[in-house]
Chains A and B, each alone.
Chain A
Amino acid sequence: MKSMLGKKAVLLLTVSGVAVSLVACGANPTTQSKDSASAASEPSGTLHFYTSQPDADAAALVKAFNKKYPNVKVETFRSGTEEVVSKLLAESKANNVQADVLLMADAPTFVRLKKQGLLMSYKSKEGSGIPANLKDPGGDYYGTKIMATVLMVNTNDVKSLPSSWKVLTDPKTSGKSIMPSPLYSGAAAYNVGVFSRQSDFGWDFFKQLANNKVTVSKGNGSVLKSVASGEKDYGMIVDFMAAKAKKQGSPVDFVYPSEGVPVITEPVAITKATKNPIAAKAFEDFILSSAGQKVEASRGYTPIRQGIKAPEGLKTIDQIKIISANPDQLETTREADKKKFGEIISGK
């Protein structure tokens, strides 16, 4: 048995050798992460940054960080939140976590990562600027921005802006609204958890939405397309996408409804498996610092630190009426919430 394995291994090596020589001419020299736990306190080496922020935004953050710490080479992996988390969990299953710093999604997602023992606790000196309810008390993760879910309308079809979420349950808007599916979008799953726990919404709100024939689409992106193109008139969508589309000139407008809005905070965290904790800590500190928060604001996000101006068209953190729920509880019930939502929408 052993010799068989040995034989196979040798043959495998030969085969892969052939394959290597076949494509080597064109292959990119890929930089491997170097173990940089050197004694030097100045952050350096390579840092693997996994994020769901749009490419350009992540690049701006890294660029600003590199101005302060030019010796750190940040390698960014960007994909949808769902894909990033799945990749991370697969890496963890294979005992090969490559990520050093994570920045994506919402607090309940990070509660889950924390429970699975993936995060490193770090009391950042910049953490004091972040409101207590928007960070982990143990220092495992910190919110980095305020992303509110707002009500967007198509301005060609809707002449007066609504002020309440209840417009979605009004028989007059039957079949005219759209929302992202919690089965596909983490932000949407968070919203369902929060809304269903408010006394003035609850699961009844979703039953009314179902009766009013609201369309449930894949994610925020498809909500944007559907409302911008006029296929639907009203949509539940994350604020920065609505603001960006409005600014670019799409025929849309949006409001923060009077009952309040659920917000997700795209937390940042350092992985327990990090091979470069010095640089990872410096990066996290930078994101939470005033300088980092200004970068977020300049990219069109509402900063999470108080006292920093929100980008044009968006409200600052103290102007927003936030509705929320306990992230630990939301994490525990997320599966059940999603299931219940699915049953209500499909009319079971």
Chain B
Amino acid sequence: MKLILPRVSICRMCKWILLILIGFLFVYPFIKLVFLSFQTKQGIGLANYLEIFRDPMTWSTVKNSILVTVNSSILAIVFGGFLAWVCAYTDVRLKNWMQVFVFVPYVIPSYVMTIAWTQFIGPAGLINRWASTMAGHKMIIWDVYGLNGMVLLLALTNYPLVFLITRSVLYRIPRDLELAAKIAGARNIHVFRKIILPMALPGLAGGGLLAFISSLDNFGIPSFLGIPKGISVLSTFIYEQVVGYNSNNFAKAAVLSIILGIIALLGTAVQWFLVRNSKTDQTFSEDRSIRFSFGKYRLIIEIGIWLFFLVTSVFPLLAMIQTALIKAYGLPFTLKNLTWSNFTFILQNNDASQNAIKNSLMLACATALLCVLIGTVFAYWRVKKPTLLAKAMEWAITLPYAIPGMVLSLSLILTWSEPISGWKPGIYGTTWMIFIAYMTRFLVLQIRTSSASILQVGEEVEEAASIHGGRWLTRWKKILVPLYSPGIVTGACLVFLTSLSELTVSSLLWSAGNETIGVVIFNFEQEGSTTYSTAFSTLIVLAILVFIVTGSLVKKFWIRRVKL
């Protein structure tokens, strides 16, 4: 009895703390938002909804949004899933380097990606100029402005999410199953369809969902590629409402954000439906051995993959560096136009950027740490006890990631200025505000990645430990954390990287002294100092890449030593 009692109370306390934390951090701002959407000049009413629903723009915008988001997510799943499989299972070479280049499009700011792509395949871009010269008259093969370009760029920005989650799931699929199937006479394609695909589904669906909700709220890409073509999606339409400065503009933005939130929830429902009966197995460790050989096609596959990286990662990266090195935007890239001064300005003459690096590092570490703790506990609870309450809470946690950054920050201002009437905690206007915002926005990244790992580890493992007398703490320490760790670490990395370069939320919530990297880049970009913003982005992206490379080298070295 004595043994069981503390266990129950710890569980119960955890549950309550989680409930209250989630209720206050996630549900409360959303309730404020919903409340706001009903506020009209005449008091509480449906006027805003009616106005929005009657506007034909709303429906064409919703249609564009769904079209763009669904297609870009499918594409992201294809890119991310295939590359994850290649990196986890096959005999291609230079996997470590491939994994570095997967990250590049994810950490490069959207506006840099769009600049690079318009230079590459815009109306006056490289490819179309070349095509015009070849044809002898002006011709446009393909133009990145418009719906197709938005789909492609959103897919490229988000496929790393699918890649990361799927890869850590793939490593854990037991080889025995495949061997058993093969012995029983199954061909490769059958093994893939009957074993690998169903078992990788938590990863593909979890990553796909993240890609789906990230592209739903993405503002940078549709605002650069859609607006010039007159195409609006929900995120840009919401921005237009917010900056309308009308008396009921926030209310209208709130209505639209709720529509956006509902679409995101539908995406979550689809994901549940997919992983509902997903297969699990007792998994004991990661298996990183080569399971599939491309044989004589290996070189072709490798060339294909590197061409893909060349176009999707190396090219934008080079375009960014090129802009950062030029004296003035628009000058040709020749030796006499080059300068280091943009970099020296960022590193030496600008207090804000040094402050920002310090603040962002601190915020990203703190956010990642707390997300790991809360996110993993929640993911475990949600997977093991899929009650209605847990599902509802998961939805609540998904929302802040889905609604546009600007709307989230506005509702956080409304919430945290005076959380309970008469109580002004003084959080708004301090670093705490940004920390809370990052927490609420990025927790879902941790939960998705941790869940994908937890979903995959069979119930039997824990039962076995329990039967052998392992207590709650021991079970976690000795068995669960080691088994879940690939997912946990992946999640922490995602949260860290995302917080480090976050742009929109901080641009509204920062105040003097607590500027973040995103704020500084956003400000440079807004005042037309593209050379500075690309220089700063270059430094950050290179730092992240160095971090990843060192990380994987250290890991490799470590594994080798352990094996010896």
Contact = CB atoms under 8 A, between A and B. Distances in A.
A290 interface: no
B20 A79 contact: no
Contacts of A26: 362, 365-366
Interface stretch (A81-89, A164-172, A198-206): A81-89
Contacts of A229: 119, 124, 329-330
Nearest to A76: B512
A216 B230 contact: yes
A181 B329 contact: no
Contact of B530 (A54, A77, A225): A225
Nearest to A93: B414
A75 B250 CA distance: 27
Contacts of B362: 23, 26-28
A319 interface: no
Contacts of A83: 406, 507-508
B536 to A, nearest CB: 12
Contact of A245 (B17, B514, B524, B528): B528
B529 interface: yes
Nearest to A181: B227
Contacts of A125: none
Contacts of B529: 54
Contacts of A178: 228
A1 interface: no
From B244, B250, B369, B528, residue with most partner A Cβ within 10 Å: B528
Given A23-B366, A245-B329, A221 B526 contact: yes
B191 to A, nearest CB: 46
A54 B350 CA distance: 13
Nearest to A87: B508
A228 B327 CA distance: 13
Interface in B223-266: 223-224, 227-228, 230, 239-240, 242-247, 250
Interface in B110-130: 115, 118-119, 122-124
A153 B24 CA distance: 53
A49 to B, nearest CB: 9
B410 interface: yes
A79 B507 contact: yes
Nearest to B361: A26
A346 B526 CA distance: 26
Contacts of A98: 428-429, 511
Q: How large is the interface on B (under 10, 10 to 19, 20 to 34, 35 or more residues)?
A: 35 or more
A15 B20 contact: yes
A31 B240 contact: no
Interface in A49-63: 54-55
Given A216-B227, A216-B228, A79 B330 contact: no
B513 interface: yes
A32 B513 CA distance: 11
B122 A231 contact: yes
Contacts of B530: 221, 225
From A75, A86, A217, A218, residue with most partner B Cβ within 10 Å: A86
Contact of A221 (B118, B410, B512, B528): B528
A239 to B, nearest CB: 12
A249 interface: yes
B417 A95 contact: yes
Interface in B393-415: 406, 410, 413-414
A90 B413 contact: yes
B431 interface: yes
Contacts of B247: 116
A93 B250 contact: yes
Given A75-B513, A241-B528, A12 B20 contact: yes
A94 B418 contact: yes
B435 interface: yes
A80 B366 contact: no
A154 B359 CA distance: 40
B328 A245 contact: yes
B370 A22 contact: yes
Nearest to A74: B512
A75 B16 CA distance: 39
B370 A15 contact: no
B513 A217 contact: no
Interface string A219-246: 1111011011111000000000100110
Contacts of A28: 359, 362, 431, 513-514
B239 A346 contact: no
A55 B523 contact: yes
Contact of A77 (B17, B243, B510): B510
A231 B119 CA distance: 9
B330 A228 contact: yes
Interface in B38-69: none
17 contacts: A19-B370, A28-B359, A30-B513, A55-B352, A79-B507, A79-B526, A80-B526, A82-B239, A216-B228, A217-B227, A221-B525, A228-B329, A229-B330, A230-B124, A231-B124, A334-B245, A335-B244
The 3 closest A-B pairs by CB, nearest first: A228-B330, A94-B417, A75-B512
